Amino acid sequence: MWFPTLLIALGFLLIFIELLILPGFGAAGVPGIVLVGTGLGIIWWKIGFYSALIYGSIALVFAIPIAIIGLSLIRETPLGNVFILKTSQKSDEGFQAMPPELKTLVGKSGKTLTPLRPTGVALIDGHRVDIVTRGEFVETEIEVEVILVEGNRVVVRRL
C-alpha cells in the first residue's frame, strides 16, 4: 500500500505548491486533487473506507513537514529565484511612491469637480487631483482645502 500513499502525499504537496507558490488556479492544484482522489480511491477499493482515511492521514502528516522543508529550501535554488522577487525599489535610487507635486498641495484650496462620496476629483492649484474626504459627502463646486497627503491619497476638508 505504499504506492497509493505516495500518490496521496504527492497530491498534497502539489496542493501546497498551488496554494503557496503558484499564482492562479489549476497548474498544480488540479493534478494534486486528482492524485489525492486516486490514491484514496485505490486504498478504499482494496482495503476499505476507514483504511483509506488512515492512509490519507498518514500521507498528510508526512507531506506537511516535507512541504515546509521544501518550501524553505526552494528559496536558495535557481528555480526559487524564478518565483521570488529579490529586488527592491529605494527612494535613494530614484523611486518615489508619491508624485512630488502632491507634497506641495498641503494647505492649498480648490473646487470640487465631482461630488465627493467620499472620493472624487477637484481642481487644486490648476491640476485635476483625485481626492478623498474624512467620510463626509461634499457637493460639486464647493471649496475644499488639502489637509493631508499620504502616498497617492490626498485628504481634503470642506471650507
Instruction: Give pLDDT tens digits for 50-60.
Output: 888 888 888 88
H or E element that contains 128: strand 127-132
Task: Specify the pLDDT at position 95.
Answer: 66
Give me the amino acid identity at 31.
P
Q: In angstroms, rounded to a whole number, what is the distance separating the alpha carbons of residues 105 and 112?
A: 15
Percent residues over pLDDT 70 in the chain: 96
Task: Specify the pLDDT at position 58.
Answer: 83
Task: Specify the pLDDT at position 94.
Answer: 67
Percent residues over pLDDT 90 in the chain: 25
Could you read off the pLDDT of 1-28 as tens digits, one per residue? 788 888 888 888 888 888 877 777 778 8
Q: Which residue has the higher pLDDT, 22 or 33?
A: 33
Q: Which of 29, 61, 16 is nearest to 37 (CA)?
A: 29
Task: Specify the pLDDT at position 98.
Answer: 65
Could you read off the pLDDT of 140-159 as tens digits, one per residue? 999 999 998 887 889 999 98
Q: In angstroms, rounded to a whole number, what is the distance separating the alpha carbons of residues 108 and 70?
A: 55
State the distance between the two ends of the chain, measured CA to CA, in whole angstroms.
Answer: 77
Q: Which residue has the higher pLDDT, 15 or 97?
A: 15
Q: Is the pLDDT of residue 91 over 80?
A: no
Task: Specify the pLDDT at position 96.
Answer: 63
Q: Which residue has the higher pLDDT, 14 or 71?
A: 14
